[in-house]
Structure 1
Amino acid sequence: MDLPRRLSTGSSSGESSPILSNYNSSTSLILVHDDEEPASPFDFPDDDEDIPESPEFEIRRHFSPPMAPSLVFLYLLSPYLKLGALLLPNTQLPLEYGILPLFVFAVLSAFSRQIWYMLARYMRKADLEDIILDAFALGRGKEGRRTWLRNIVRGGTGSLRLLLSVIYLRESVHIILPLLPADLPLPPRPVLTVVFASALLPLVSAQSLSSRRIVYVTWASIATYIIWFLCVAVAHANGTLEINPGWLRMGTFWQGLTTTAFAFTSSSTLPLYASLKAGAPPAALSKSSLSRSFRTLSTMSVVVAVCFTLPLVFFTAHMNVVILQDPPLLRLQPAITIFNSLTLLLAIPSVLVTTPSLPIPERIRHATTIPLSKYLTFTLAIVLSLVPTRIARILSDVLIASACASTFFLPALVHITTHFFKRPLSIIMPQMPSTPNPHVHEPLPAAADELLQRKERALQKRQFRKRVVWDVGVWVLLLPVGGGGFVWGAGRLAGRW
């Protein structure tokens, strides 16, 4: 027997929301055969392409342009091979305390991305602002809270991107300074900062991550990291590997375990998922493949990142027992320094492109075609990169705390709020004038009430059973990992350890 059902649209946040499934309002029911089990948003063995799609499934946000799977993989991998990985050889963690945390945080990072991916499918949205608003400020009479919360999300996202750019630019300059002559006529630090900023200026005006300039420079940052990695391996084998001086300038929170955690922090998960879905052909015209599975691409990026970071744990664990050669056969430290600097410098454009726009008055924005917000953000990053060391240490502490909280703590909090403290979204919902809000269950027609209600309860029960393992993992991520991190950070600031 055929049974009609309809997936709900999630919430009514307006046409500007990047809705992943948006059925025509004139179509109230969709026929689905009983022999095809309904796809659950939290059914791990199934892929996201199993959700029925149609030409109405589209993403309408300009900052989520269609992307090929290779580009999505690039931007999923790139954050892992940046500052955290470059500092790993300096953590001096014993081998038994270095390997396990690396694997743990790698798995947690993939798990966190999976949470965002499932939330996007469940809410039919791929924008962080809309998901946060649906979780914490959905309903009538909460317009003020939504505005306040939206500003917090945009400000927090922008601040995190800005801090990443500041620390990247600052460290890319500082690490080069020892290679410069000591008798320069001008102060080398501000001059080198201006030179580096001028080189990046044509890149920061790109409109999105799909811009060719951003794609090329991001691939270049991956290449420079790989060259740096090979140089570090050779230097370690020859006994000439030195401590990165940037490690000594980092703040109070930068310890061995926290640096490992920071190495596996990431952002832009939701926009990348939206871009992957936007670039996929309609399901009716092409068969889905693993290459277009967001879960597969995310897992591959974590695996590749582990392959290029795990050896660094061995290097730092055995750095002190390597016999130094006098004189060394190879002097690779200048090359290590240069490629370290280039890796950070080339990562800045992709970070700035995804930074939310500044609240510039509409009259000014329409008066010019120059991307004022991007240039102002870049200028602010340049200024902040020149602050004194003691202030820079505070900024670096804020960066690592914000990055770890947004990667590991925030998705767990949103998941728990959505699925433990809110009424579940209906899986079966006829389109009726009396039920404009999918969160509110109104009486159904007598002919369909008993059958649809029974089917709804069965599907909700099946969904709950399949979500149990994820709920356990999310609570672990929220309490032992997130809560323990907050307690450790508070004790660190108080000087208790």
Structure 2
Amino acid sequence: MSIDLPRRLSTSSSSGESSPILSNYNSTTSLILVHDDEEPSSPFNLDFPDDDDEDVPDSPDFEIRRPFSPPMAPSLVFLYLLAPYLKLGALFLPNTDLPLQLGIPPLLIFAVLSAFARQIWYMLSRYTRKADLEDIILNAFARGRGKERQRGWLRAIVRGGTGTLRVLLTFLYLRESVHIILPLLPGNFLLPPRPILTVAFALVLLPLVSAPTLASKRIVYATWASILTYIAWFICVAIAHAQGTLEVNPGWLRMGALWQGTTTTAFAFTSASTLPLYASLKASFPSSGLSKSSVYHSFRTLSTTSVAVAVAFTLPLIFFTAHMNAVIMQDSPPLQLQPAIAVLNALTLLLGIPSVFVTTPSLPISERIRRATSIPLSKYLTFTLVVALSLVPTRVARILSDVLLVFACAGTYFLPALLHITIHFFKRPLSIVVPQTEMPMARSPSAEQALPSSTDELLQRKERALQRTQWRKRIIWDIGVWVLLLPVGGGGVVWGVGRLAGRW
């Protein structure tokens, strides 16, 4: 007889991932006795195969609990991974006035950092077996007994921060869409045109923002349409630049003090739905663990591809801003593309609102009121707040745009690095093979005496060996996370404080 130990460990040797996730075993798995059918190997052989992370099914403890994380096909996950990159930040890139030597390196660096941050979220989700931001933060800062009050405060802070980011992003999309269209309207309005146009856009968007999940067809169609309008805008901008008729986006002049060339580039590669999208991808197909999953179903592949496509549609914009006034002599008069550019700009932002708004956490409405009606009161009340914010004076809007920039960059680059360091450096590592609970004894008296002493030593040796292996594989990621946290995050904070203080 021999002791069969849980040996399946999901790592990512091929990709550098290091966050372990148990397969069909968890940390409370007990030892079982089985008969050997063939010659056993040495019980002290500590060499384990490096299984690819997509080969092993997720732990039964893997949680998918949010209503906006329904099962979605890889094509939809790719769509929502790409969409945030081709929105407001990208639309402002031609106006950043950066020379090539100062424009290209930040764009490539932040593109890599964005893909790196998504990978950190992915590994944290697999390591903690959680698919929600709240649960991962609670695991990092309030794990264990006696921290119920602390968990309650953390949940409120996370939901409030997430909701604030979504509301501010939606408000800015709506506000800029209105301001872009206003110069194209005739000037014989009897009433102020801005509130009227804002309400009109809000009514058009109302059926879209009331959709329940990202998988809703109306959200999918609107997001695909926003990608197409961005591509059309990109083509028109390229033609206008070639003709020397490209003009500065007037919305660029209304942004806050923190919106400069490099910070706008950083904002262009921010995203905030990595965990829900990963959960939706994992829920879209059964993982049997019997064969290697297709690359098409790999979250890592979809994320990397989305970043590469985004770079392809944003990098040329840096060339446009470096040579904004270049004019090419032509025999025929240039095309008047500025109205088309403005309309496509506004459509890209408007059609991008539903996919952002649908993931906004619901307001704390009592269960009694929610059961009394089938109307999504939380969504309507939140959207009313968005419409009201879009009508605030320009001075207030500039402050809110700066707050949005800070929230978006901190959530994309700083937060995953902080959680990774907290979980892996200041918390006890999750057990891989050593059970957390008391191991059941075998029935025979001889086994009762031999089992605890022999297996404890073997399990401890295996545990130490696997933890060392994980640390070695994670060291490159740890270095990258510290770079993301200190030079990028710390440097950004110092620059922002100096900018607001008027030092530069």
Give the TM-score normalised by the residue count of structure 1: 0.90
Which residue in the other structure is 2:477 paired with?
470
- Residue type of the partner of 1:263? A
Q: What stretches of structure 1 of length at least 5 have no aligned partner?
A: 10-18, 40-45, 436-443
With over 3 angstroms needed to count, the CA separation of the structure-2 counterparts of 1:328 and 1:272, relative to structure 1, is same
Counting only pairs closer than 5 Å after superposition, residues 26-65 of structure 1 correspond to structure 2 as: 28=30, 37=48, 39=50, 47-53=52-58, 59-65=64-70
Counting only pairs closer than 5 Å after superposition, residues 409-420 of structure 1 correspond to structure 2 as: 409-420=414-425
Q: Distance in 1 between matches of 2:155 and 2:503?
A: 36
Q: Distance in 2 between matches of 1:495 and 1:26?
A: 56
Shift of 1:361: 1.2
Q: Is the 8 A contact 1:170 1:385 kept in 2?
A: yes
Which residue in the other structure is 1:16 paired with?
none
Mapped pair 1:70 → 2:75: yes
- Residue type of the partner of 1:4? L
Task: Give 2:220's match in structure 1, choosing from 207, 215, 218.
Answer: 215
Q: Secondary structure at the match of 2:247?
A: coil
1:419-463 deviation per Cα after TM superposition (whole angstroms, max 9, x unaligned): 11111011103363479xxxxxxxx92231011100000000000
Q: Is the 8 A contact 1:6 1:429 kept in 2?
A: no
Which residue in the other structure is 2:296 paired with?
291
Which residue in the other structure is 1:204 paired with?
209
Q: Distance in 1 between matches of 2:122 and 2:422?
A: 16
Shift of 1:63: 2.5
- Residue type of the partner of 1:458? A
Q: Distance in 1 between matches of 2:389 and 2:267?
A: 21
Which residue in the other structure is 2:148 paired with?
143
Task: Give 1:487's match in structure 2, choosing from 491, 494, 499.
Answer: 494
- Residue type of the partner of 1:28? S
Computed over aligned residues only, the root mean square deviation of the Cα atoms, in angstroms, reads: 2.6
Counting only pairs closer than 5 Å after superposition, residues 273-422 of structure 1 correspond to structure 2 as: 273-284=278-289, 287-322=292-327, 328-422=333-427
Work out the number of aligned pairs and report it: 474
Mapped pair 1:263 → 2:279: no
Mapped pair 1:90 → 2:95: yes
Mapped pair 1:243 → 2:248: yes
Shift of 1:192: 0.5
Give the TM-score normalised by the residue count of structure 2: 0.89
Q: Distance in 2 between matches of 1:71 and 1:337?
A: 28
Q: Secondary structure at the match of 2:414?
A: helix
Which residue in the other structure is 2:467 paired with?
460
Q: Distance in 2 between matches of 1:240 and 1:270?
A: 42
- Residue type of the partner of 2:48? E
Q: What's the % identity of the aligned pairs?
A: 75
Task: Give 1:161's match in structure 2, choosing from 150, 166, 175.
Answer: 166
Q: Is the 8 A contact 1:64 1:271 kept in 2?
A: yes
Q: Secondary structure at the match of 2:70?
A: coil
Q: Is the 8 A contact 1:206 1:353 kept in 2?
A: yes
Judge which range, 288-297 or 322-331, deviates more. 322-331
Which residue in the other structure is 2:448 paired with?
none
Q: Is the 8 A contact 2:210 2:379 kept in 1?
A: yes
- Residue type of the partner of 1:37? F
With over 3 angstroms needed to count, the CA separation of the structure-2 counterparts of 1:120 and 1:54, relative to structure 1, is closer
Q: Secondary structure at the match of 1:282?
A: coil
1:299-322 deviation per Cα after TM superposition (whole angstroms, max 9, x unaligned): 000000000000000000011333
Q: Secondary structure at the match of 1:457?
A: helix
With over 3 angstroms needed to count, the CA separation of the structure-2 counterparts of 1:73 and 1:193, relative to structure 1, is same
Q: Is the 8 A contact 1:250 1:396 kept in 2?
A: yes
With over 3 angstroms needed to count, the CA separation of the structure-2 counterparts of 1:473 and 1:58, relative to structure 1, is closer
Of the two, which has the highest radius of gyration? 2
Shift of 1:382: 0.3
Q: Is the 8 A contact 2:254 2:394 kept in 1?
A: yes
Which residue in the other structure is 1:15 paired with?
none
Q: What stretches of structure 2 of length at least 5 have no aligned partner?
A: 11-20, 35-39, 441-450
Which residue in the other structure is 2:452 paired with?
445
With over 3 angstroms needed to count, the CA separation of the structure-2 counterparts of 1:5 and 1:238, relative to structure 1, is same
1:261-290 deviation per Cα after TM superposition (whole angstroms, max 9, x unaligned): 000000110010011001122224664010
1:186-219 deviation per Cα after TM superposition (whole angstroms, max 9, x unaligned): 2110000011001001111111101111001000
Q: Distance in 1 between matches of 2:237 and 2:3?
A: 63
Q: Distance in 1 between matches of 2:329 and 2:203?
A: 40
Which residue in the other structure is 2:17 paired with?
none
Shift of 1:325: 7.2
Q: Distance in 2 between matches of 1:389 and 1:381?
A: 15
Q: Distance in 2 between matches of 1:491 and 1:57?
A: 43
- Residue type of the partner of 2:487? P
